[in-house]
Amino acid sequence: MSRTFPKTGSSTYTAPDADELVRRVAQVAAVAGTSAPFINTDAPIELVRCQVSRFVSSLGRPGTCRACDRTIFWIRTTNGKNAPYTREALSHFADCPAAATFRRDKTPQ
């Protein structure tokens, strides 16, 4: 997966499209050992995003990333570990700007 980020501005964020969100939901569902919900990709992107967000928040325990202060959801994986995911069903290990420090800073007790 390669992306180009704009060089100007403070944000390097690229909003995922519906297909990307569906892919992520499938990944999260697999990680959590559950089945992915049906997501209507013909719906407006705001609705798709809303469904994804609801799915992630129903699976995980809300928390805040200690490294970057973003809202994350701790999802219990099939091997009994907790993995942080964002509202957009992206692994926060991949998403966190402070991922390097994050890895040492494990799940809150």
Which residues sit at the interface with Zn ion, rule CB under 5 A? 65, 67-68, 96
**Shortest approach of Zn ion to residue 67 CB, angstroms?**
4
**Shortest approach of Zn ion to residue 41 CB, angstroms?**
28
**Shortest approach of Zn ion to residue 66 CB, angstroms?**
8
25 vs 96, beta carbon nearer Zn ion: 96
Angle between helices 45-59 and 18-32 (to 10 degrees): 10
32 vs 65, beta carbon nearer Zn ion: 65
**60: closest CA among 23, 41, 39, 88?**
88
Using CB atoms within 10 A of its CB, is residue 55 exposed (0-12), middle (13-18) or buried (19+)? buried
Six-digit token pair at 98?
Answer: 């402070």
**Shortest approach of Zn ion to residue 38 CB, angstroms?**
30
26 vs 68, beta carbon nearer Zn ion: 68
29 vs 68, beta carbon nearer Zn ion: 68
Quote the DSSP letter at residue 35: P
